[in-house]
Amino acid sequence: MKLRANLKKLTPEQKEVEKRQFEKKIAHKKLLLSQAIKIPPAIHQFATHLTESETSSLFKLLKKYKPENSKEKKIRLKAFVENGKKFTTPKPDILKFGIKHVVSLIESKKTKLVVIAADVDPIEVVIYLPTLCRKMDIPYCIVKSKKWLGSLVNLKQTAVVCLNNWKSADDAEFSDNISMMRQRYNDCYDVAMNTWGGGILLRKQPGYVDPLSHLQEVKAVRKK
Indicate if the pLDDT at residue 46 is higher than 70.
Answer: yes
pLDDT at residue 1 greater than cutoff 60: no
Task: Determine the pLDDT at residue 31.
Answer: 79
Query: For position 71, what pLDDT does the model report?
Result: 82
Q: The whole model's pTM is what?
A: 0.77
Q: What pLDDT is stored for residue 68 in this prediction?
A: 82
Q: What is the pLDDT of residues 150-164, one digit of tens each?
A: 999 999 999 999 999
pLDDT (tens digit, 9 = 90+) per residue, 186-203? Answer: 999 999 999 888 777 655
Q: What is the 3-state secondary structure (H, E, C) of the chain?
A: CCCCCCHHHCCHHHHHHHHHHHHHHHHHHHHHHHHHCEECHHHHHHHCCCCHHHHHHHHHHHHHHCCCCHHHHHHHHHHHHHHCCCCCCCCCCCEEECHHHHHHHHHCCCCCEEEEECCCCCHHHCCCHHHHHHHHCCCEEEECCHHHHHHHCCCCCCCEEEECCCCHHHHHHHHHHHHHHHHHHHCCHHHHCCCCEECHHHHCCCCCCCHHHHHHHHHHHHHC
Domains of the chain with bracketed CATH: 40-198 (3.30.1330.30)
User: Is 2 a residue whose pLDDT tops 60?
Assistant: no
Q: What is the pLDDT of residue 222?
A: 66
